[in-house]
Structure 1
Amino acid sequence: MTATWDVPLTEIHMSDEDVAAVMDVYASGWLTMGPRTKEFETALAAFSGVSRAVAVSSGTAALHLACRAAGVGPGDEVIVPALTFLATAHAPRYCGATVVLADATSEHDPNVSVADVERRITPRTRAVIAVDLFGTSADTAALRLLCDRHGLVLIEDMAQAIGARRRDGAPAGSAADLACLSFFSKKQLPLGEGGAVLTGSDERAATVASLRSHAMTSGTWDRHRGHSESYDVVDIGHNYRLDEPRAALGLSRLRHLGDDLAARRHAVARYRARLAGVDGIALVGDDVDVACSSHFAFPVRTDTADLRIALRSELPVRGIQTTRYPVLSALAEYAEHADGSHPSATTFADRHVCLPLWGGIGDDAVDRVCDAVAAVCGA
């Protein structure tokens, strides 16, 4: 049976402009790695405040290629947050490296602890991957200093944080050697699939651009235009290309992303005002975080795991969809890390619920969710 929701976790609305942009590509007859991809990369770099953006087929592909561009390989260790989506931890393992999980900052702050990252650095550590969980930037300024002291590469997983800023006002991703975006359907810039690597290094951008297309020295579009007669292959690359219809959709939707993020902040502010006095519910972050985050999701923390279970059980009965993120060590593939050394991440994972949020969610829908949460909490 397919569930139907009165208030889903997220919704995607395609404008006539979006649809026309994609149909123009199909009418053109050129469907992969052409002029729209290049234009999308240029616009994406400008929006993100970096010099280079390389579009790829997914956020996971972006993380994998960022690790390769960072020189991650067998024998290396890469430190990643214990609380993140599994792709963050999979990417270094694709390169043959060992993953080391770091704890969250606290039971109330789910982003990675800089102090715990430092504690886990060894002579084998090659890189640190910071994650901007739920759209709120990790403390990448402090992680930048830490990585510089130890000669490490800093990769920032911005899959949930396009358009976010750090607490000091700098763009998310600006402190990292490489930053990774995702354009999966639930993200703020939804293309269905897709991702990008952001960097200020021409050399690393060239590496990512090469590896995304089998490490070939020229692409089909170059040969189509007569810029190259043939090609060579200079490494073991991958088929991580972004197609032209998604690039065109990205260009169309990127023009309105600022408005979408502003609407998300409005909804979050309403959520926070309505839920501030509800017993058993703690809000995540503060007013600065609200202003700086790009709000991929709206998590609340419950005082007890039982209340989290009640919300996850009762809200769907009322037609409201929710979700939560498990700590990585709770997954069978990462069970060897369930050693009790990530208590803050584990507690947050056990006690948080993500409520519905998207750019077009109305005040009435937010109020309905808040009323339901208060009812379950006995308010």
Structure 2
Amino acid sequence: MSNWHIPLSDLDYGSEETAAVQRVLQSKWLSMGPEVQAFEQEFAEFLGVKHAIAVANGTAALHLSYLALGVEPGDEIIQPAINFVAAANISVAIGVTPVFADIIGLGEPTIDPADIERRISPRTKAVLVMHYGGYPCRMAEIQGICQKYGLALIEDACHAVGARYLDSQSRAPHGNMVGNLGDIACFSFFSNKNLATGEGGLVATNRDDLGERLRLLRSHGMTTLSWERHKGHASSYDVILHGYNYRLDELRAALGRVQLKKLQRNNSRRQQFVSAYQQHLTPISGWTVPFSDYFGDSAYHLIVIVAPDKETRTHVVKTLKEAGIQTSLHYPCLPDFTAFRHLTSHDLEQSRLFAQGVITLPLFPTMTLDQVEQVCSHIYELSHLAPVKDDLP
């Protein structure tokens, strides 16, 4: 697939996905139809939610979520400074101001509930949380804040399909699925995600009003769809609001159904590799391994480490690349991108420290423990050779 000795990610694709695609091709119905309907039903049952609406991609899921919740130009959405750019871009695109909140710290790079509350203003309409790397945010605290101030709660669950939230206070043996913790939740099925269809996404909610509005917004505000008319269940349609073409196609839905069946097994494999990484890397002095003491049920989407400083990060990434080991950066601090520098972004110390040192390491369900050990061996050697600064926190 690539020239990398150990790639950053890889797909668990095989004969089941091939058969699913062939099934759709043989049906000769490619646009949204029975495969999408089945995928939505299976995903809703998996999450334990009333409504699962499949869409074109994760960004479409975010856009429709904002619109369904009635977010309007001039409103503010509080969201993490450490995230992929999609949530902030869509905010700006619809005239909403993204208000960036800090993360809890290097060891827990999810949005800080205390910083959320500090940034609430009369214009705040919603809070968007991102379950970084597949690890649920501190949802009990955030739910309480949203309830106190009457704010909508949006889950960016693109990293966290299959994760469960456990209350850290009670340490209960079970919990709610991520995607079933707020007013609305957004998923991405991009090629590097735990459930991968190339493109594709999904919006989940337990609210009937949101579910109905999301379905209309997804397909031009039309009251019936092509598949229903093709089957003779409807002969005409009305357009009752201004919507978009954010539909998912049958091929990706068929792939999603197969990937959903593999998800829990593959998340368990990811957990095995993350545990091995943590065992090898946690003892290294001066470095941080986020979530190394996490006790809950993560989706284990990412394994990241935080170097002591930017120079060390640069040195390690360069040397790993020379060894054929692919890495990435999840993520730069959003307000430091050129497109967002006009926004106020004070007091994001932990987010900026995290962004300058974080390294994303290879993690995928078909990798091996030997590959994990190879990556860790290089990092262990480099941690002693890299120009680490002793005076950094």
One-letter amino acid of the structure 2 residue matched with residue 265 of structure 1: Q
1-side partners of 2:11 and 2:333: how far apart?
Answer: 27
Q: Which residue of 301, 308, 311 maps to 2:313?
A: 308
Aligned length: 377
What's the counterpart of residue 273 of structure 1?
Answer: 279
Contact 1:141 1:175 in 2 (8 A): no
1-side partners of 2:47 and 2:313: how far apart?
Answer: 35
1-side partners of 2:345 and 2:14: how far apart?
Answer: 48
One-letter amino acid of the structure 1 residue matched with residue 108 of structure 2: D
Contact 1:280 1:304 in 2 (8 A): no
Cα offset, 1:170, TM superposition: 2.4
Cα offset, 1:174, TM superposition: 2.1
1-side partners of 2:30 and 2:186: how far apart?
Answer: 24
What's the counterpart of residue 153 of structure 1?
Answer: 152
Cα offset, 1:281, TM superposition: 2.1
1:24 aligned onto 2:23: yes
Q: Quick one: percent identity of the two aligned structures?
A: 39
Cα offset, 1:3, TM superposition: 6.9
| 1:296-336 superposed Cα distances (whole Å, 9 cap, x missing partner) | 11011112222111111111001100011100012111112
What's the counterpart of residue 332 of structure 2?
Answer: 326
1:38 aligned onto 2:37: yes
One-letter amino acid of the structure 2 residue matched with residue 211 of structure 1: L
What SS does the aligned partner of 1:378 have? helix
1:294 aligned onto 2:299: yes
One-letter amino acid of the structure 2 residue matched with residue 27 of structure 1: Q
1:353 aligned onto 2:352: no
1-side partners of 2:166 and 2:311: how far apart?
Answer: 33
The alignment's C-alpha RMSD in Å is 1.4
What's the counterpart of residue 375 of structure 1?
Answer: 381
Cα offset, 1:338, TM superposition: 6.5
What's the counterpart of residue 69 of structure 1?
Answer: 68
What's the counterpart of residue 106 of structure 1?
Answer: 105
2-side partners of 1:148 and 1:351: how far apart?
Answer: 35
Contact 1:101 1:337 in 2 (8 A): no
One-letter amino acid of the structure 2 residue matched with residue 59 of structure 1: G
> Aligned runs of 1:203-218 on 2, under 5 Å?
203-218=209-224
1-side partners of 2:2 and 2:322: how far apart?
Answer: 11
What's the counterpart of residue 389 of structure 2?
Answer: none
Relative to structure 1, is the Cα distance of residues 366 and 233 closer, same or farther in structure 2, using a 3 angstrom cutoff? same
Contact 2:221 2:239 in 1 (8 A): yes
2-side partners of 1:110 and 1:310: how far apart?
Answer: 23
**Structure-1-length-normalised TM-score:** 0.96
Instruction: Give ranges in structure 1 of 5+ residues lacking alignment.
Output: none
| 1:234-286 superposed Cα distances (whole Å, 9 cap, x missing partner) | 11111100000110111111111100000000000011111122233221113
Cα offset, 1:49, TM superposition: 2.1
What SS does the aligned partner of 2:327 have? coil
Contact 1:280 1:307 in 2 (8 A): no
2-side partners of 1:312 and 1:136: how far apart?
Answer: 24
What's the counterpart of residue 171 of structure 2?
Answer: none
One-letter amino acid of the structure 1 residue matched with residue 53 of structure 2: V
What SS does the aligned partner of 1:286 have? coil
> Aligned runs of 1:25-174 on 2, under 5 Å?
25-168=24-167, 169-174=175-180
Contact 1:260 1:359 in 2 (8 A): yes
Relative to structure 1, is the Cα distance of residues 228 and 31 closer, same or farther in structure 2, using a 3 angstrom cutoff? same
What's the counterpart of residue 205 of structure 2?
Answer: 199
**Structure-2-length-normalised TM-score:** 0.93
One-letter amino acid of the structure 1 residue matched with residue 268 of structure 2: A
1-side partners of 2:114 and 2:323: how far apart?
Answer: 42
The range that moved more, 107-116 or 26-35, is: 107-116
What SS does the aligned partner of 1:83 have? coil
1-side partners of 2:64 and 2:140: how far apart?
Answer: 23
Relative to structure 1, is the Cα distance of residues 337 and 346 closer, same or farther in structure 2, using a 3 angstrom cutoff? farther
Q: Which residue of 231, 235, 238 maps to 1:229?
A: 235
2-side partners of 1:339 and 1:211: how far apart?
Answer: 32
One-letter amino acid of the structure 2 residue matched with residue 315 of structure 1: L
2-side partners of 1:145 and 1:375: how far apart?
Answer: 45
2-side partners of 1:339 and 1:147: how far apart?
Answer: 22
> Aligned runs of 1:329-344 on 2, under 5 Å?
329-337=335-343, 339-344=345-350
2-side partners of 1:79 and 1:339: how far apart?
Answer: 12
